[in-house]
Amino acid sequence: MKRMFLALPVPESIHEELERLRIGLPGARWMPDLHITIRFLGDISEKDQSLIEELLADLEFPNIHIRLGMPGVFIHPRQIILYLSAVPDDDIIKLKTTVDTLLRPTGLRVERKFHAHCTLARLPDSRSSFLQNYVLQFEHFQTSLFAVDDLVLFSSVLQRTGALHYREESYRLS
């Protein structure tokens, strides 16, 4: 079984633009691998992975042009996730709907809530007085417009220092 998800990778040129945001948050664990998750699949068997790959081979979707901006946070009991929203998100939502439809034969549960975002960092707790100032400091930040040409099937291996992601398969958007 592999822990898997589908995502849109963020280009290296955008990683460089985001370097200036990696400041002012003591204890933050900055994400080295930036992507926009389209669908978390969970623990997948080899048989189900083959079916997923076969179904996604029929994906037809145009490439997407977006920016990352508008920082926000998701608060969980043991950590906070700092993210940038993907804007505009209309095409990403359409892509997610298309993917969900293609994967219906797998019987995998579909997540109902979806917010197109790129996780920047994970923080240990919500009491950080730095977090509110950080979000305000960068509230108007936006990356350059960039094209996303691939949907990628990733496997993820959880480790103490964070997850390691491996590209399993790519599906061209054109």
Give the residue numbers annotated as catalytic, written as ranges.
35, 117
Three-state SS for the chain is CEEEEEEEECCHHHHHHHHHHCCCCCCCEECCCCEEEEEEEEEECHHHHHHHHHHHCCCCCCCEEEEEEEEEEEECCCCEEEEEEEECCHHHHHHHHHHHHHCHHHCCCCCCCCCCEEEEEEECCCCCHHHHHHHHHCCCCECCCEEECEEEEEEEEEECCEEEEEEEEEEECC
Nearest by Cα to 152 from 45, 35, 15, 22: 35
